[in-house]
Structure 1
Amino acid sequence: MANDGKLHVAMFPWLAFGHMIPYLELAKLIAQKGHKISFISTPKNIDRLPKLPPHLAHLINFVKIPLPILDKLPENAEATIDVAYHEVKYLKIAYDALQKPITQFLQSSSPDWLFFDFVPYWLPTIASNLNIPTAFFIILNAAFLGFVGPSTVLTGTKDYRTKPEDFTVPPNWIPFETTVAFKLFEVLSIFKDAVVGDEENISDLYRLGASIKACDIIAIKSCSEFEPEWFQLVQQLHQKPVLPVGLLPVTVNNGGDGNNNDAWIDIKEWLDNQAKGSVVYIAFGSEAELSQGQLTEIALGLELSGLPFFWVLRRRSGSADNIQLPDGFEERTKGRGMVWTSWAPQPKILSHDSVGGFLTHSGWGSLVEGIQFGRGLILLTFLSDQGLNARVLEEKKLGYPIPRDERDGSFTRNSVAESLRLVMLDEAGQTYRDNVKKMSKLFGDTDRQDRYVDNLLGFLQSHRRPQVL
């Protein structure tokens, strides 16, 4: 190992692009400082990642480890986007079977640090046996970790929360006033997989708790200026170093669009013809599976609003093919609305002057991008951490939630239209527009991001372990 102070950091994200992309962004920021990265994933996923900037390609080594074949997984499925929601657990089971090849890679490469995601709860023990320190890098915010609580609760040692209703109120370990909690419909949609698990698969919360308990440090994709009280709480709950890595703001022109520049040319041409700040951009990430009822109400709500819109409507693999837009919808909205059914460069769209609002599923990555570019946020949650993210933004008056039924999550076309107009046009929505513009300075601050990376690297360098020969 060179004695020049440079690090070799291995990274092993979960098999979802909402996880792999933030890991890759952090990898690039670390590599820019001259450190070496081993980025571990499956062959198909690595081939689908954005191309590296040429000046970093020699510092980031992509390590391809094939995913074991599982009868219940569709052929060639290597990421959550390749499977239906109910099949994600089989992806986790296949991922768990990577223990042996990962161990062999770590033994042969001896990285100074290993950054890992919430799914491979077994990995920090393997790394510890090889004298490799670990960072649990969570691509969510500190509020999420604060709400879900200590390892004893997450792993079920203490049965604090056993039924869905328990997740609809702030837990007793939060020492400050907050409205951050799930709505009942949000918990019901994830309770089985995230909280309970089954005879085939371990629950997400158990994986999370075991990962945190066994890691050396917790690294969070957020910044302490945005949520200081939550960072303090996470530190108190886990009694180990908690490091913000910054918000990892995206750069719009980083050459990372691969072969999709033709798509952007067409999209930009359409956006260029719209008035400044007039367009609502709609995207719900790669995980959400809209029902026919939800799709219909969103579409008719867009129509009712009278606003120009650009809707990225992609179906994930395995979702129902018979879900359709309302009859005549595209014809009636022709000229002022665009439905885009293939890949779209979200940061480029959000940065375009014609975009004024963002109707989003409240995934943390999308929220960061929306705030970074100062766009009014209209929130419609579907899965996972999205409900907690939405509450954080509601509390800070940074985003407006579409009103819904608390138990089944249903909403109407009228509530969609009214929410869009409120955030985009109405005087009552001025607070949201002003607040997000102010916060965009923090979220897009690249100098601050650089300081976070320097601070992280300083810690990693001072706490690396001597290699065992």
Structure 2
Amino acid sequence: MATSKPHVLIIPYPAQGHVIPIMELAQCLVKHGIKVTFITTEATHKLVTSNGLDQDGLGDLMQMVSIPDGLEPWEDRNDVCKLTRSILQTMPGKLEQLIMMINKEESNKITCVIADGCMGWAVGVVKKMGIRSAAFWSASVATLASIFCFQKLIDDRIINENGIPLNGQMIQLSETLPPMKPENLGWTSFEDVATIEVIFKLLIGAEEAYRMTEWFLCNSTTELEPEAFSLYPDLLPIGPLLASNRLANQAGHFWKEDPSCLAWLDQKPERSVIYIAFGSFTIFNQTQFKELALGLELSNQPFLWVVRPGLTNESTTAAFLDGFMDRIGSRGRIVSWAPQQKVLAHPSVACFMSHCGWNSTLEGVTNGLPFLCWPYFTDQFYNETYICDVWKAGLGFKKDENGIITRGEVKDKVEQLLGDKTFRDKAVVIKEKVTSSVREGGCSHHNLSSFIKWIHEEDQGSVG
């Protein structure tokens, strides 16, 4: 007989930018009566559950389960190369064991697995077990297009078979997509060859998943990336998946939010505050950190700056910030982590200085904010191209001969962005297009509804 409720297993790549949007997808499914088992690594599970996510608050239809990533508890999970190698070696077997254990209970069997595109290997595991699958891509579709074109890039001698760029020739994936530098491909911005090669191997799994899955869902909209979606019409936009429907505000966050900054924003004039946040991976050396701070000081604008643990690894940061904030006074506020979507929606915020991670990009455009772009690695450089050159809703920074964005450059770009109403006007137009997509009748809303309907229909058709 059919199971009592469809049961979906979801597995993200263990990084905050991947966990947050797919957690939102999980909670959308729960709202529609679908049982979800959300799989994270043990280390990620500990981070997420220790920062405000209460298992009981997820409801009866969702549970979080962890499996080992293969590393010892004390090993550095910021070492992307080591973590990814360990995932590829360890987690396929662990996932298969977990599914077999769950499926022993006839009424609780997994009816579908949704794998993060960066965990494409999971699709192969469940296909072998006879379980239906879907893939979910948390970044831009333009980034995904560069991965899908990997064989052409190899054939054209732009990269070798391990993903290493062979020359500096600009890449034009199609006539309709903006050009990109080889060093800005999603896997080539790491400093060492070993990391580039293992990330390339991981990402090729997304292309394999694309060929094997029945659904490939994307956290984007046709309004943001019409050219990329036209290249792959069977990719389904269901985004932006944001926290407005979230059952638990902290779902997926690795750090505890400081909501006190919202009261501080309440005291600032409308459209006056620069919000600065660089995501969960960006690291600054001390020189760059100080130049940014001094540029904010020179701008004379109110600012809210997220300085998360590990943003700069220099021990002198605290002492510098003490003196800096003594001079700034109430004009500035520094927090270790912010309730970002609430901040971006606040009327006092004028612009978003961002690393241009895709989640932050979606959150910024959904709130109609112009950007000051400061990308750090992977897809962030191509996202900057879209923000500045395609959508024309932001400005990038220029580095000096030492590779530093100086205080003067920070001041100048702040003044240029806030002094030209065109940037905000462009951002507001994009906001209207994007938000209409997730409303009833919009493309993303329709696609997500169709996917949910498919899950229910597949469950009704499963016979014991």
The answer, yes or no, to whether TM exceeds 0.5 is: yes
CA distance in 2 between partners of 1:288 and 1:299 (Å): 16
Q: For each residue in 1:345-389, what CA deviation from the matched residue of structure 2 results, as whole angstroms up to 9, or x when unmatched?
A: 111211222111110000010011111122221111101110011
Measured after TM superposition, the shift of residue 253 of structure 1 is 8.2
When the two chains are superposed, the root-mean-square deviation of aligned CA atoms in Å is 3.4
Measured after TM superposition, the shift of residue 33 of structure 1 is 1.2
Measured after TM superposition, the shift of residue 185 of structure 1 is 7.6
Tell me which residue corresponds to 1:2: 2
| 1:417 match: secondary structure | helix
Cα–Cα, structure 1 residues 409 and 133, in superposed 2: closer, same or farther, change >3 Å? farther
**In the alignment, which of 429, 432, 436 is matched to residue 423 of structure 2?**
432
Measured after TM superposition, the shift of residue 249 of structure 1 is 2.8
Cα–Cα, structure 1 residues 36 and 151, in superposed 2: closer, same or farther, change >3 Å? farther
Contact residue 280 and residue 308 of structure 1 kept, 8 A: yes
Q: For each residue in 1:68-102, what CA deviation from the matched residue of structure 2 results, as whole angstroms up to 9, or x when unmatched?
A: 343xx735x6xxxxx44xx1222223323122221
Tell me which residue corresponds to 1:169: 170
Tell me which residue corresponds to 2:231: 233
CA distance in 1 between partners of 2:81 and 2:97 (Å): 25
**In the alignment, which of 59, 62, 65 is matched to residue 63 of structure 1?**
65
**In the alignment, which of 94, 100, 121 is matched to residue 101 of structure 1?**
94
CA distance in 1 between partners of 2:57 and 2:261 (Å): 29
CA distance in 1 between partners of 2:134 and 2:313 (Å): 35
TM-score, length of structure 2 as denominator length? 0.84
Contact residue 194 and residue 203 of structure 1 kept, 8 A: no
**1:14-29 mapped onto 2 (5 Å cutoff):** 14-29=13-28
| 2:330 match: secondary structure | coil
**1:301-312 mapped onto 2 (5 Å cutoff):** 301-312=295-306
| 2:424 match: secondary structure | helix
CA distance in 1 between partners of 2:118 and 2:244 (Å): 28
CA distance in 2 between partners of 1:434 and 1:288 (Å): 29
| 2:217 match: secondary structure | strand
Measured after TM superposition, the shift of residue 139 of structure 1 is 0.1
Contact residue 270 and residue 347 of structure 2 kept, 8 A: yes
| 1:369 match: secondary structure | helix
Tell me which residue corresponds to 1:414: 408
**1:320-335 mapped onto 2 (5 Å cutoff):** 320-323=314-317, 325=320, 328-335=323-330
Cα–Cα, structure 1 residues 47 and 128, in superposed 2: closer, same or farther, change >3 Å? same
Cα–Cα, structure 1 residues 207 and 410, in superposed 2: closer, same or farther, change >3 Å? farther
Match status 1:453 vs 2:448: yes
What amino acid maps onto 1:170 in structure 2?
Answer: I
CA distance in 1 between partners of 2:274 and 2:169 (Å): 30
Contact residue 249 and residue 443 of structure 1 kept, 8 A: no
Tell me which residue corresponds to 2:46: 44
Cα–Cα, structure 1 residues 291 and 168, in superposed 2: closer, same or farther, change >3 Å? farther
Measured after TM superposition, the shift of residue 164 of structure 1 is 4.0
CA distance in 1 between partners of 2:351 and 2:373 (Å): 11
Q: For each residue in 1:205-263, what CA deviation from the matched residue of structure 2 results, as whole angstroms up to 9, or x when unmatched?
A: 4444444444443211111222122112134xxxxx32112211332885524899993
**1:62-101 mapped onto 2 (5 Å cutoff):** 62-70=64-72, 74-75=74-75, 83-84=77-78, 87-96=79-88, 97-101=90-94
Cα–Cα, structure 1 residues 196 and 24, in superposed 2: closer, same or farther, change >3 Å? closer
Where structure 1 has 5 or more consecutive residues not aligned to the other structure, the ranges are 78-82, 236-240
CA distance in 2 between partners of 1:165 and 1:68 (Å): 33
Contact residue 53 and residue 256 of structure 1 kept, 8 A: no
Cα–Cα, structure 1 residues 133 and 322, in superposed 2: closer, same or farther, change >3 Å? farther
CA distance in 1 between partners of 2:51 and 2:257 (Å): 18
Measured after TM superposition, the shift of residue 120 of structure 1 is 3.1
